[in-house]
């Protein structure tokens, strides 16, 4: 076990600017590292992080303090049958025919509406004008909530993500997260009450109808589920879309290949998830002592799994710090399933239930962006900067393009 003081500090400003060099040092010199600031053991190697996601000895009890104070109790904390039954309530909407037939038109419409707002202007700040709105609008529509309240949803999920990533325990961030729980409950509980008497085809009605082991989900349970879906589906896909565009624009020959052959968008997305995952850290709590090659982690301690470091492990990927959509050591066909060989969606029982929805949103979004601005390029003098330690993505993405080339709506 390593406690050497000169090891990188994952709470330092230098780490926030560029975590990738620190990830390399941790993988090589301190694969199991006690980090004082977060009071957690940090794992950075691919094999160790994959094991922590797959092995049920690593419980998700950390969400009792990391998320329950803002969401209420959600499937992230559950295990066994209770977890499987509740997850099965929403899973069908996020895959297969329900996703394609019921929700694809919702996804396409939401992308088009936002792109129509800037396609004739010749310039756009993609994060602020597109990617922060698009996935949350999709999930709001899927739940049958009111898009006019978008600004509130956005404020709420931003506060919840900040609470989740509040590694330095900033009291203001904690207070904003707790305010969100109160405000979200005041907003959602009356809607859930009304929806129960006017059931429709939306996802909220599905949750209202659902019975778990013969018992209806309580209003509180449903509210917590919606809060999780807005956060998990909003912040992550938001970062993924701006990251795939930033990565392609930084690699013009790969961007040209994707423009020529749109079927490559899926490969580019899988590689984006590996190279610049939207979620860089996920925590776990082992129920028993667990021995790793780099040291033993005692039962009950908190473990920080560095997805961003594991996805760039040279033991797993050739030239791990290169963005290469044609790499042969990342399987695209399984990249959005629990058999994925990158760790951006975690692995095992809690593997992201929205992975295929995210893939569909990115494919539709990138296709429509390429249609509207095929010659998009970074605005003159602009260089994207990544932001965030827990979740991470471009802070801004200023683009220029020829408005005349946007096809008529
Ligand atoms: C690129 C986009 C996305 C990324 C990178 C991502 C990442 C993740 C990760 C890492 C987990 C595992 C958490 C853990 O094991 O502790 C997770 C779980 C989850 N995600 Fe996603 N996610 C994305 C999109 C979505 C979308 C669009 C939705 C749905 C609206 C969604 C809903 C969920 C839910 C409900 C869980 C909990 C699953 C469970 O506990 O069984 N995610 N996601």
Mean of per-residue pLDDT scores for the chain: 93
Residue 213 — very low, low, confident or very high, per pLDDT cuts 50/70/90? confident
Count other C-beta atoms under 10 Å from residue 330's C-beta. 23
Which residue pairs, CB below 8 angstroms and at least 24 apart, start in 293-302? 293/31, 293/48, 294/1, 294/2, 294/30, 294/31, 294/32, 294/33, 294/45, 294/48, 295/1, 295/2, 295/32, 295/41, 296/1, 297/32, 297/41, 301/40, 301/41, 302/38, 302/39, 302/40, 302/41, 302/62
Per-residue pLDDT tens for 122-132? 999 999 999 99
CA of 388 to the centre of ligand 1 (A): 18
Topology classification of domain 13-405: Cytochrome p450 (1.10.630)
- pLDDT of 246 above 60: yes
- Which residue's alpha carbon is nearest to atom 6 within ligand 1? 345
- pLDDT of 406 above 60: no
- Which residue's alpha carbon is nearest to atom 41 within ligand 1? 350
Q: Which atom of ligand 1 is nearest to the CA of 138?
A: 30
CB 244 near ligand 1, within 6 Å: no
CA of 350 to the centre of ligand 1 (A): 8
CA of 352 to the centre of ligand 1 (A): 4
Best residue among 90, 232, 338 to mutate for probing ligand 1, ranked by most atoms within 8 Å of CB: 232
CB 93 near ligand 1, within 6 Å: no
- pLDDT of 2 above 60: no
- pLDDT of 318 above 70: yes
- Spell out the domain ranges in the chain: 13-405
- pLDDT of 409 above 70: no
Per-residue pLDDT tens for 298-317? 999 999 999 999 999 999 99
Q: Which atom of ligand 1 is nearest to the CA of 75?
A: 40
Per-residue pLDDT tens for 334-376? 999 999 999 999 999 999 999 999 999 999 999 999 999 999 9
């Amino acid at each position: 076990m390593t406690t050497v003081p000169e090891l990188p500090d994952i709470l330092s400003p230098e780490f926030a600017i560029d975590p990738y060099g620190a990830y390399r040092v941790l993988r090589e010199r301190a694969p199991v590292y006690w980090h004082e600031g977060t009071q957690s053991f940090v794992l950075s190697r691919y094999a160790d992080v994959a094991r922590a996601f797959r092995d049920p000895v690593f419980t998700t009890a950390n969400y009792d303090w990391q998320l329950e104070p803002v969401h209420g109790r959600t499937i992230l904390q559950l295990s066994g049958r209770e977890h499987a039954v509740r997850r099965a309530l929403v899973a069908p909407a996020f895959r297969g025919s329900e996703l394609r037939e019921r929700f694809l038109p919702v996804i396409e419409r939401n992308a088009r509406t936002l792109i129509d707002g800037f396609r004739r202007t010749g310039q756009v700040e993609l994060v602020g004008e597109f990617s922060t709105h698009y996935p949350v609008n999709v999930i709001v529509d899927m739940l049958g909530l009111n898009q006019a309240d978008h600004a509130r949803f956005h404020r709420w999920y931003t506060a919840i993500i900040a609470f989740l990533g509040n590694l330095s325990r900033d009291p203001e961030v904690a207070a904003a997260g707790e305010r969100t729980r109160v405000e979200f409950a005041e907003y959602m509980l009356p809607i859930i009450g009304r929806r129960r008497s006017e059931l429709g085809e939306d996802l909220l009605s599905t949750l209202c109808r659902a019975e778990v082991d013969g018992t209806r989900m309580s209003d509180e349970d449903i509210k917590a589920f919606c809060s999780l879906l807005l956060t998990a589906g909003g912040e992550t896909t938001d970062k993924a879309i701006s990251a795939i565009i930033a990565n392609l624009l930084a690699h013009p020959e790969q961007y040209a290949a994707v423009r020529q052959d749109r079927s490559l968008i899926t490969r580019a997305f899988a590689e984006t998830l590996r190279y610049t995952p939207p979620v860089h850290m996920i925590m776990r709590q082992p129920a028993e002592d667990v021995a790793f090659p780099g040291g033993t982690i005692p039962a009950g301690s908190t473990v920080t799994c560095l997805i961003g470091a594991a996805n760039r492990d040279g033991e797993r990927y050739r030239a791990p710090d290169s963005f290469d959509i044609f790499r042969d050591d990342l399987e695209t066909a399984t990249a959005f399933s629990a058999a994925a060989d990158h760790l951006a969606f975690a692995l095992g029982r809690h593997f992201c239930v929205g992975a295929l929805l995210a893939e569909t949103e990115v494919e539709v979004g990138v296709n429509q962006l390429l249609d509207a601005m095929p010659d998009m390029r970074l605005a003159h003098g602009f260089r994207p900067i990544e932001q965030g330690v827990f979740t991470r993505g471009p802070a801004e993405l200023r683009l220029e393009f020829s408005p005349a080339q946007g096809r008529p709506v």
